[in-house]
Structure 1
Amino acid sequence: MKQRDIDELSGIETTGHEWDGIKELNNPLPRWWLWTFYACIAFAAVYTVLYPAWPIVSGGTKGILGYTARDQLQQEVSAAQAGQAEMLAKIAAMPVAAIAADPALAAFASAGGASAFKVYCSQCHGSGAAGGFGYPNLNDDEWIWGGTIDAIYKTIAHGARSQLDANTHDSPMPNFGTDGILTRDQIRAVATYVASLSGLPGGEKTEAGAQIYAQNCAACHGPEAKGNPQLGAPDLTNAIWLYGGSVDGIIAQVNHPRLGMMPAWGAKLGDTTVKELAVYVHGLGGGQ
């Protein structure tokens, strides 16, 4: 019989394996660990029979229970939709102003609108709806096309300068420079006059600038330059500038205006989602 090799330091029998003078002790795994391991093997064998597990050429084994995560997800989605059906039906049937006046409906609609905003609107207006250069901030109380909930609903549904909607907002600003309506000196005079109305650096209230403004700009922006939401003409007396608040920025806009376009979301999203978006945007803090 082979002689047992006992480690001198620990007094434990070795396996007989040795590497560079280092011997491997013969320490069997604990019984509880082995039985746990065997139980895991048995569980895995049963699991592969009951549930989808093994890939095959045309897909995978189905399991005798026929369970799939996709089916479970669809069941959960269907249950959630069934729970929302009553509220959605009310939103579909009510005017948007009445929805906002009902606290329970408004909270439900606002939650749905917040989700839709992240998917369809945040790319332009930002995740916090603060906007950016060329994209309006939806948190303040300055609205190009009106800030009432009905006006916001109309803007979302029909867009601005959308070629796909006959009811879209559309009131283009003339190309005063590129079309030769005003000379370069006249454009600078009216630009510095407009800049002075909101206290921008370089602004100057001159008689020439005021006269040019009255003859060419007051019809849309108003004699006091307070704007006109019916025409999409912004207020020129505050510090909110869509295309840059500077004399050069105003000159560029008067010379050849940037005319922003917003898609008409009504046909794409449906009336219910548009109402939810209107309630959400109106509730951001700047709704009138």
Structure 2
Amino acid sequence: MSEKHKDDVTGVETTGHEWDGIRELNNPLPKWWIYTFYATIVWCFAYWVVMPAWPYLTTEGWTYTKGVIGYEQRNVVMRELAAVNESRAGAMQQIAELPLTEVAADPALMELALGAGKAAFGDNCAPCHGSGAQGSKGFPNLNDDNWIWGGTLDDIHYTLVHGIRWEADADTRNNIMMAYGRDGLLTRAEIADVAEYVLSLTDRAENAEAAARGEEVFASQCVACHGEGGVGSRELGAPALNTAVWLYGGDRASIIESVSNGRRGTMPAWGGRLDEATIKSLTLFVHSLGGGE
């Protein structure tokens, strides 16, 4: 049974608790700490009334108490963004109206365009092309000088405006690779031979006879787009097959997959989604990454 008594050393009364001969002193919290604690409770209730605080469910869905002063951080941010946009509206209008080459030649406009383009890229393009525009399987790397549809300012701008294989835009870049296996255009043996020939273009073929047979099939089925020797065609969006750069993979299995089922990668037409100044800024930013022509 616990018994309270005063500690002989400190003269402070104990709580009556004892563990292995050790007693607990009954030292109360300082007054200032107690008062601060009470003040935070009062402040908490005041905050709930004054500021947005509590979520609640209505017939239209979830909402929250607005507070008596109606403060919202989102409104503050929107006002700040509006002020920034207003301050650079004139320069962005110039970017929208001037040819890309003239914008690139003006250091001040170019600096603004690159900043705006980088922000727009992060918002709209990074999910596919990567935050550093490094690309991934099926999504081109925009840092190098390997371009499927061309890497000049005009080429990039056209691609951004009209997209690739985007049905909603009549001027979209729209060449496709057929599914030679799935649609029964080539036999499995012919597809394997074509893959062997494509591998031979980068000195990786293992069967010279199969590569020779594949060359004949390539000449009748693939040359029209990919060109003699697999050099590719930017006008048709047909990638070069004689380099180490592969959009969907350059190993034998990936090549067979491409020939068998075709490839129809798409890119949105940003012309109906972004304003001209933003599209031009994106064009200049992508062009500046290192692979622009």
The TM-score, its normalising length taken from structure 2, stands at 0.78
**CA offset at residue 141 of structure 1?**
1.0
CA distance in structure 2 between the partners assigned to 1:221 and 1:24 by the alignment: 88
Kindly state the Cα deviation for residue 175 of structure 1 after the two structures are TM-superposed: 3.3
Residue 190 of structure 1: CA displacement?
2.5
Residue 212 (str. 1) matches residue 217 (str. 2): yes
| 1:203–1:126 Cα change, 3 Å | farther
Other-structure match for 1:198: 202
Please name the residue that 1:62 is paired with: 68
Q: Structure 1 residues 227, 18: closer, same or farther in 2, change over 3 A?
A: same
1:19 aligns with one of 2, 10, 17: 17
User: 1:82-108: CA deviations, max 9, x gaps?
Assistant: 222122111111223332333322222
One-letter code aligned to 1:271 = E
What are the equivalent positions in structure 2 for 1:85-100 lying under 5 Å apart? 85-100=89-104
The AA in structure 1 aligned to 2:153 is I
Q: Tell me which residue corresponds to 2:259.
A: 254
Q: 1:89-238 residue pairs with structure 2 within 5 A?
A: 89-202=93-206, 204=208, 206-238=211-243
Give 5+ residue unaligned stretches, structure 2. Answer: 57-63
What per-residue deviation string (whole Å, max 9, x for no partner) do you get for residues 42-63 of structure 1? x959x86x96488799935425
The unaligned stretches of length 5 or more in structure 1 are none
Q: Normalising by the residue count of structure 1, what TM-score does the alignment of the two structures yield?
A: 0.79
User: How far apart are the structure 2 equivalents of 1:141 and 1:183?
Assistant: 35
Among 86, 92, 98, the residue aligned to 1:82: 86
Deviation by residue 1:225-270 (Cα, 9 ceiling, x = unmatched): 2111110011111011112112232223223312111111110122
Q: Is the 8 A contact 2:145 2:151 kept in 1?
A: yes
Question: Does the CA contact (< 8 Å) of 2:178 and 2:263 recur in 1?
Answer: no
Give yes or no for the alignment of 1:268 onto 2:287: no
Match in the other structure for 1:284: 289
CA distance in 1, matches of 2:144, 2:277: 25
Report how many aligned residue pairs link the two structures: 278
Q: How far does the alpha carbon of each residue in 1:166-197 deviate from its partner, in whole angstroms, 9 at most, with x for none?
A: 01001122333344443433333232112111
What is the CA RMSD across the aligned residues, in angstroms?
Answer: 3.5
Question: Identity rate of aligned residues, in percent?
Answer: 39
